[in-house]
């Protein structure tokens, strides 16, 4: 049982997903806008694949999000997919951290140290 209590998707206009930033095995990440937090990152994942893993991820973000090395957690919302009523999507809303992906940053600085900001 999850320790977090995701809500149903916010009313239209309160959370938008504007630009696809990346796609991965567990979901897609969009740059969007939250009506209170401003520019955010929105991770959309199909939790029917591994609900326990997503519960752990959200609990971790709730507890540690906002640490100087971890994006701030702004909420998690359930939303039913338009084309598949048998599964649920989870939208995790996080602080937007521009500058590209960690993967790209690591590969572009091979053999060099990353400076701390």
**Which strands sit side by side in the sheet containing 73-79, from one edge to the other?**
7-8, 73-79, 89-95, 38-46, 28-34, 15-23
Give the list of residues 6+ apart from residue 102 with CB closer than 8 angstroms, or none. Answer: none
* 17 is known to lie in a ligand binding site: no
Opening angle at CA 77, ends 73 and 78, nearest 5:
150
Residue 78: name the closest of 8, 4, 5 by CA.
Answer: 8
Residue 34: name the closest of 78, 90, 81, 91 by CA.
Answer: 91
Q: Hey, how many other C-beta atoms are within 10 angstroms of the C-beta on 58?
A: 22
Give the annotated binding-site residues for ATP. 43
Which residues are annotated binding-site positions? 43
């Amino acid at each position: 049982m999850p320790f977090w209590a995701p809500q149903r998707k916010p009313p239209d206009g309160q959370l938008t997903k504007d630009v696809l930033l990346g796609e991965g095995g567990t979901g897609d990440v969009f740059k969007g806008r939250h009506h209170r937090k401003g520019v955010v990152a929105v991770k959309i994942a199909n939790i029917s694949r591994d609900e326990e893993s997503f519960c752990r991820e959200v609990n971790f973000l709730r507890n540690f999000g906002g640490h100087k090395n971890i994006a701030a957690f702004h909420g998690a919302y359930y939303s039913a997919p338009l084309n598949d009523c048998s599964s649920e999507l989870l939208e995790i809303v996080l602080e937007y951290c521009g500058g590209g992906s960690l993967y790209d940053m690591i590969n572009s600085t091979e053999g060099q140290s990353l400076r701390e900001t």
